[in-house]
Structure 1
Amino acid sequence: MTSTSSAWGRLQAAQRLPLSALFAAHPDRLSRFTLDECGMHFDWSKTHVTPELIADFVALAEETGLAAAREALFSGKTINQSEGRAAEHTAERGEGAPDSVAQARFFHARMRAIIDAIEAEALGPVRHILHVGIGGSALGPALLVDALGRDAGRYDVAVVSNVDGVALEDAFRKFDPSATLLVVASKTFTTRETLLNAASALEWLADGGVEDPYGQVIALTADPDRAVEWGVDETRVLPFSETVGGRFSLWSSIGFPAALALGWTQFEELLEGAAEMDRHFRLAPLDHNAPVLAAFVDQYYARLQGATTRAVFAYDERLKLLPDYLQQLEMESNGKSVRIDGKPVEGPSAPITWGGVGTDAQHAVFQLLHQGTHFVPVEFLASIEPGHGLDEAHHRHLLTNCFAQGAALMTGRANDDPARAYPGDRPSSTILLDQLDARTLGALIAFYEHRTFTNAVLLGINPFDQFGVELGKEIARSIEGADIQHFDPSTRSLIERAFG
């Protein structure tokens, strides 16, 4: 997106009208700004976008080459330019270059064969799964298991990503070493935090009387040779393609703990739901395309209205990890200041993604959203069908609170006492699921992936690299060396105080 774009010029010149005025002026606003797709109802009517704005954003998408970039994504072309590779997470769910789809199916078949063997107790009486990874190697599986596995009753699963030993000890206290399968997830199999956690877990297995700890290890990696060198038997290494990025990898072998905990049928449903959203994103017109419209709204608020954050609130306990997952997906992908062409990004890029779970968040952060000085677009998620069998009053109360918050943000309320006045005209969007099952969750996650990709294309950046996370790691390695004199006085003082 550049200042010389004609569409961008029109977007900058557009006036923001109050939400109440937009509804009053356009009786058909609801039908224009809602969309039903993949078992979900998307409602952007309580945002400030107009048909004219959408038309200008469509023109901007055409100017920035969204259609060509989308086709490059699905055809397996080198779209991750800085690392010289494709980005083929969609091939994992059957939508991509034929050879890549075939390879993904082969790797999935290998994963299912190991799952079948575990279920037949070929690796002993497994009851617990200890999954160690970090970033996308942990956030994706954790989200899937927490959202869909609460009633599965198949295996106990602990996903550990933090190198803080407290996290591992929490899992150790709950699990029996003789019945624990250790799953080590690392794309390169060089991630220091993951390998340190894995080494400590192996020691725990040995201390717990397991004669062959490596015999209870499954490795998930794009570099099988390194996993074998580390000590994992090659028959227990589940590969995936190096063209699948970490934060897009839950569809690959990285999803193994979820497939094992939920059952293969559920994992297949997850893949098919994502593939359904893939087809929608690839084929639907831009002005009736859910990920694209959501990205238009994102761009409107972040770049035209100065919103530095975006809040996501799931009114469903099963989606409590979704904001954490989206933080990495959106902020690691689009938190860039340099365009693909090497020029600086003009204006803000990705907003800061944050959020929580309703109704808890209403009594914590909604004070700022309703009466604070920050301008924060809010996104609500809920499911029509409850995830429990208790009195229906629970779910009715949950949904009424969700819908009430969006209405209150928009309409506000006047009061002679300023402390009790609500300004209103604060935007929100809603994603209402018919039900939260594997298929719909797959479609929802794919929706966010494609939304993130569309934002990147509009910004002119590469969403598939993440060099920004490397500098801190490099400095951490140097701190462990003997010479700390090159550090600033503050850092030297902290090192000396902590380590003596």
Structure 2
Amino acid sequence: MNCRTTLPSWHALSAASEQLKEQHLKTLFDTDSERFDKFSRQIPGVLFDFSKQLIDSNVFEQLIKLAKESDVAAWRDKMFSGEKINITEDRAVLHIALRNRDATPIFVDGINVTEQVQAELEKIKVFTDRVRSGEWTGYTGKTVKDIVAIGVGGSNLGPQMVTEALDAYSDGNLNVHYVSNVDGVQLGEVLKKVHAETTLFVISSKTFTTSETMNNARSAVSWFLDSAIEQSAVAKHFVAVSTNLEKTRAFGIADENVFTMWDWVGGRFSLWSAIGLPIALYLGFETFVEVLEGAFEVDTHFKTAEFENNIPLIMALLSVWNSSFLGYTSQAILPYDQALHMLPAYLQQGEMESNGKHVTFDGQTVPYTTVPIIWGMTGINGQHAFYQCLHQGNVIVPSDFIASVEPQIALGNHHDVLLSNFFAQTEALMAGVNEQEIREDLAAKGKSESEIEKLVAHKIHQGNRPTTSMILDKVDAKAVGRLIALYEHKIFCQGIILNVCSFDQWGVELGKGLASNIEAELKQDNIRHDHDSSTSGLIAYYKQKRNS
């Protein structure tokens, strides 16, 4: 695959970016009364407005050409058909098969994975119904009251983000707690809140060897056996999501209580699989299915919509435009729904772990930015934290604003107040306030000329800060599924357009290997590995202080 910089559309976009850098968004709106209609799209349950991005019709046309010249459609079809597009690990990329609601056959190595997914979903349903109905009991015969989900990365962020987003729909039948950090504080705090005889632990690790997860799991078992005493009781309180039956058996988990994953599911795209078991347990299997159905709607849109109307593709193209052509190195995710407070962290992993790469498919160094730094928080809180920088800082941060028409919980006029801020912020970031407007405003307030001169420079807002607005009908199960799937397909399209492999994570693997070696050094004095002087000095300092 050739470097994208050789494509005609890339050259056209490079030239256009120099011209657009001299433009102002406010001027683009002033000269085109139909801008919103041109640059907004809708699918059921979602309005997507990208009219406040620094583009014009020519740039949009060239971005669409870039997608076509990058063969996005062909790669999309390869993904949906089960071809092994994870080229560095020789794996298919089939998170879409996990929510394939029309049961279309998808084959990998001659096996219809759709049938495997359906069988696993049925297993999840049966198990979930048993726990939630009270049929499943612990070692003392009591029903389960608390779920403790132990995992890290994709095995944690997805399920926790979804259960917290949909917490308002919980029937209160069960409590759910998440443990991801190997720092003992997190597990210790959770264990203070639960009782051994009424707690079910879900251990999620594909290989059942993930260091952080297994340390937490072993500590949980030790805590549990302080009460249960008998090792056999573990089978009534611990289940697993894993492919390693040998290790789950050794841990004390019965085979029938191990839910499987497949190597064609990447961790950060896995909440649709048995990794989503905590979602089904907490909210009910029917709600979990609604999340899958929402994602499936977006899968269908992504497969069938023309490029000019294809929302995930447009999202990807805008990110490429902002980062690789306009030079903006970060992007903020700003949900104006408290329910979506974990979305920035979830998308941070999804995008940065996927496309944080420096070489093309064929191993050549890329000459452009492949991924912006993803960060953010809920809107109102962010306004009183970092929006000052967004408005007047000397960095420009394109931002995704996300809100809903209907609140999960209606309380007086709270939602109108919330949405008034949502609309105001994107308008202010786009238009800004110029010197003349400030002078007129200050004069109208009775300020003297000397006072105006002192203040005017400080109050100028340059504007021209690009934003995208997404408005959901309501943050419910289908909406959450739709939203996540939109960003998943965005990430896929970014990878194809930028010519990088989105589905491996060798940087993560490097850190894991080094940590494993150092862990052995910390535990045993007779083991020593070669390190730089800083790392050796830090290790020695820690061991000396610990031992003293």
Match of 2:130 in 1: 117
Q: Helix, strand or coil for the counterpart of 2:6?
A: coil
CA distance in 2: counterparts of 1:444 and 1:134, whole angstroms: 22
Report if aligned partners of 2:156, 2:180 keep a CA contact under 8 Å in 1. yes
What does 1:387-402 correspond to in 2, within 5 Å?
387-391=408-412, 393-402=413-422
Report if aligned partners of 2:329, 2:397 keep a CA contact under 8 Å in 1. yes
| Matched AA of 1:164 | D
Instruction: Kindly provide the CA deviation profile for residues 204-227 of structure 1, in whole angstroms up to 9, marking residues without a partner as x.
Output: 111133641232111012333432
| Matched AA of 2:538 | L
CA distance in 1: counterparts of 2:195 and 2:430, whole angstroms: 52
| Match 1:50 to one of 27, 51, 56 | 56
Match of 2:450 in 1: none
What does 1:8-407 correspond to in 2, within 5 Å?
8-14=10-16, 15-16=19-20, 17-94=23-100, 97-98=105-106, 99-124=112-137, 125-152=143-170, 153-209=172-228, 211=230, 212-391=233-412, 393-407=413-427
Q: Helix, strand or coil for the counterpart of 2:115?
A: helix
Q: Helix, strand or coil for the counterpart of 1:159?
A: strand
Match of 1:428 in 2: 467
Instruction: Kindly provide the CA deviation profile for residues 261-301 of structure 1, in whole angstroms up to 9, marking residues without a partner as x.
Output: 10111111111100000000010001100001111110110
Q: Helix, strand or coil for the counterpart of 1:325?
A: helix
Change (3 A) 1:234 1:101: same
How far is the alpha carbon of 1:374 from its aligned partner? 0.6
How far is the alpha carbon of 1:483 from its aligned partner? 4.0
CA distance in 1: counterparts of 2:246 and 2:44, whole angstroms: 39
How far is the alpha carbon of 1:389 from its aligned partner? 3.3
| Match 1:451 to one of 479, 490, 515 | 490
| Match 2:6 to one of 4, 9, 23 | 4
| Matched AA of 1:166 | V
| Matched AA of 1:114 | F
Structure 1 or 2, whichever has the larger Rg, is 2
Report if aligned partners of 1:38, 1:440 keep a CA contact under 8 Å in 2. no
**Larger deviation, residues 443-452 vs 43-52:** 43-52
Q: Helix, strand or coil for the counterpart of 1:384?
A: strand
How far is the alpha carbon of 1:440 from its aligned partner? 0.9
Change (3 A) 1:71 1:498: same
Instruction: Kindly provide the CA deviation profile for residues 229-251 of structure 1, in whole angstroms up to 9, marking residues without a partner as x.
Output: 43310010011222111000000
Change (3 A) 1:323 1:59: same
Report if aligned partners of 1:91, 1:97 keep a CA contact under 8 Å in 2. no
Instruction: Kindly provide the CA deviation profile for residues 77-101 of structure 1, in whole angstroms up to 9, marking residues without a partner as x.
Output: 1110100010110000016643122
Report if aligned partners of 2:4, 2:70 keep a CA contact under 8 Å in 1. no
Instruction: Kindly provide the CA deviation profile for residues 435-454 of structure 1, in whole angstroms up to 9, marking residues without a partner as x.
Output: 01001110110000000000
CA distance in 1: counterparts of 2:543 and 2:417, whole angstroms: 52
Report if aligned partners of 1:85, 1:243 keep a CA contact under 8 Å in 2. yes
Instruction: Kindly provide the CA deviation profile for residues 309-356 of structure 1, in whole angstroms up to 9, marking residues without a partner as x.
Output: 000111111000000000100000000001111111121110000000
Report if aligned partners of 2:234, 2:252 keep a CA contact under 8 Å in 1. no
CA RMSD between the two structures = 1.3
Change (3 A) 1:325 1:319: same
**Larger deviation, residues 220-229 vs 294-303:** 220-229
CA distance in 1: counterparts of 2:169 and 2:64, whole angstroms: 43
CA distance in 2: counterparts of 1:109 and 1:224, whole angstroms: 20
**Larger deviation, residues 223-232 vs 341-350:** 223-232
How far is the alpha carbon of 1:485 from its aligned partner? 5.6
Instruction: Kindly provide the CA deviation profile for residues 58-84 of structure 1, in whole angstroms up to 9, marking residues without a partner as x.
Output: 211111110000001100111101000
Match of 1:486 in 2: 530
Q: Matched residue pairs, number?
A: 499
| TM-score (norm: length of structure 2) | 0.89
| Matched AA of 2:207 | T
**Larger deviation, residues 476-485 vs 349-358:** 476-485
Report if aligned partners of 1:202, 1:214 keep a CA contact under 8 Å in 2. no
Q: Helix, strand or coil for the counterpart of 1:83?
A: coil
Q: Helix, strand or coil for the counterpart of 1:82?
A: coil
CA distance in 1: counterparts of 2:540 and 2:353, whole angstroms: 32
| Matched AA of 2:536 | R
How far is the alpha carbon of 1:474 from its aligned partner? 1.4
Task: Give ranges in structure 2 of 5+ residues lacking alignment.
Answer: 107-111, 138-142, 439-452
CA distance in 2: counterparts of 1:150 and 1:483, whole angstroms: 51
| TM-score (norm: length of structure 1) | 0.97
| Matched AA of 1:11 | L
**Larger deviation, residues 474-483 vs 130-139:** 474-483
Report if aligned partners of 1:409, 1:425 keep a CA contact under 8 Å in 2. yes
Report if aligned partners of 1:104, 1:240 keep a CA contact under 8 Å in 2. no
CA distance in 2: counterparts of 1:215 and 1:346, whole angstroms: 54
Q: Helix, strand or coil for the counterpart of 1:208?
A: helix
Task: Give ranges in structure 1 of 5+ residues lacking alignment.
Answer: none
CA distance in 1: counterparts of 2:53 and 2:152, whole angstroms: 35
